[in-house]
Every structure is written in structure tokens, then in C-alpha cells.
Amino acid sequence: MSDDKPVPTEERWAALTRLTPARIALGRSGASLPTREVLRFGLAHAQARDAVHIPFRPEAVAAELAALSLEAIEVASAAPSRDLYLRRPDLGRRLAPESLALLAGRKGAFDLAFVVADGLSSTAVQHNAAPLLAATLPLLRQRGLRIAPVVIASQARVALGDEAAEALGARMVAVLIGERPGLSSPDSLGVYLTFAPRRGLSDAARNCISNIRPGGLSFEVAAFKLAWLVNQALRRSLTGVGLKDESELALVTGAGAQSLPDSA
């Protein structure tokens, strides 16, 4: 007979908690949760609410972009307040008239426009947008892409990027936006990439890279995926359901940025 003692169930679950931020192995106290888990849940819920409601600071993002030698244009959606933005998603998808006129006055021949939008987590944007751009720009600039001034949009949703990029005359838009916060990830940044942006497009026309944050998808990997998708989109003249993200194949080979295809 074996002398090995079975590992208690509690210990097996505890080992799994080191592999995931998911809420597992919470334990119990009678018919309820232990006090520590009730408090942890309350903290996570408060952090998620804060991510949605903490005021966006576009001037701070603009300062970080200036350090990267990027010009920024600050705009606003048609939603005049955070409360109305949350109750009227349609207003967050449109530029305010004065913002649309501002961008139309900067129209040029650009390959790509970046739109940094607060979305549903200003926390994600304040923490992660500039580091992601810093990791991405060298991969794009080595291809000689013409990049428009970065648009920083307040009270904005993903589709606002279509109107902004169309006004700038960009062939493609990448919207960096705060994702809906979860109980383990209040700081998750998403990127939505759209070729030939214009008002009225659906999400089927976009590619998405999600969960970009120090505890999720790293800036380096996200930058590689974004640069790969940009080059493929320009090469094939499409994004969305017709463009499959196969950047992992290039990462697995270890080819790195050298494997990015020319966009010409």
C-alpha cells in the first residue's frame, strides 16, 4: 500500500488560485462566505465602479504622448456628461459638431489614425494607452506608415473612431479604449482596428485585441499583434470577420518584428 496521503481538497484549490485571478477557492463560513472574501469582493466592486466614474484626464494623456513626439488633438463626443454617456450609448458614438469640424480641418493623406478614448474605464486608458503606443510606434514607423495626429476623445465609444478617422482622411483607425471593467480587471484596455472607417459600420468590420494591461496581455505582445494586423489590413484592404489574427504564428517562430509583411 502506498504511504502517500491524499492532498486535502482545500490545498488543491489553493494551488489553483496562483494560476488565475478568477474568484475560485473562496471557502465558506457556515452557509456564507468568509469575511475576508466578502471584503475582497466589495473592494473589487468598488474598483470597477471607480474605473467607470473617475473623470478622464485627457491633458495627462496628451502630455504622455508629447513625450513620445506625438501630436494630440482633444475632442469630445455628443454626450455632454458622464451620466448621459452611460444612459445614451448612441451619443458616445458621435463626435460633437465642434470636434468634427476641428478634425475635418486637419484632414490629410494618412495610413492610420489612433483614437484614444475613455470608454468604460478611464483607469485603463490613463495607465495603459501611452505604454502601448510607445511599444507599437517603432514597429509601424519602420514600415514608413503615415500616422495622423492622435485623437484623444472624452465620453467616447468605439464607433466614434470611425467618424474621427473619416474626418482626418485616414485609411484605417485603431481605437484604444477602456473596456467594461470586471471584478478582477478594472484596468483592461482594448484596441479596435477598422479599415476604411466611416459612420455606420458594425463591429463585424473590426478586429479586436483585448485585456491589454500589466496583469493581462503585455504591451509588447499587444503591440506586435496590432502592428501585424495593421500591415495585413493595409495589404488586403479589409478588417473584421475577413481578417483572421494569425500573429501568434509569427511569434511562435521567434521571427519577431522582422516577420511583419510590407503593407505596400
Q: What does the pLDDT read at residue 264?
A: 40
Mean residue pLDDT of the chain comes to 89
Q: Which amino acid is at 52?
A: V
Q: Which ranges of 6-121 would DSSP assign to H, the alpha helix?
A: 9-17, 35-53, 58-67, 82-87, 89-92, 97-104
pLDDT digits (tens, 9 = 90+) for 161-192: 999 999 999 999 999 999 998 887 889 999 99
Q: Is pLDDT at 261 greater than 50 in this prediction?
A: no
Every domain of the chain and the residues it spans: 56-259
Q: What is the DSSP string of 90-144?
A: HHHTSB-HHHHHHHHTT---BSBEEEEE-TT-HHHHHHHHHHHHHHHHHHHHTTT
Say which CATH architecture domain 56-259 belongs to. Answer: 3-Layer(aba) Sandwich (3.40)
Give the separation between CA 194 and CA 192, rounded to whole angstroms.
7
pLDDT digits (tens, 9 = 90+) for 52-65: 889 999 999 999 99
Q: How confident is the model at residue 25 (pLDDT cuts 50, 70, 90)?
A: confident
Q: What does the pLDDT read at residue 29?
A: 82
The residue to which cell 496562483 is assigned:
18
Which three cell numbers, joined as nine digits, stand for 205? 468590420
* Mean pLDDT computed over 213-236: 95
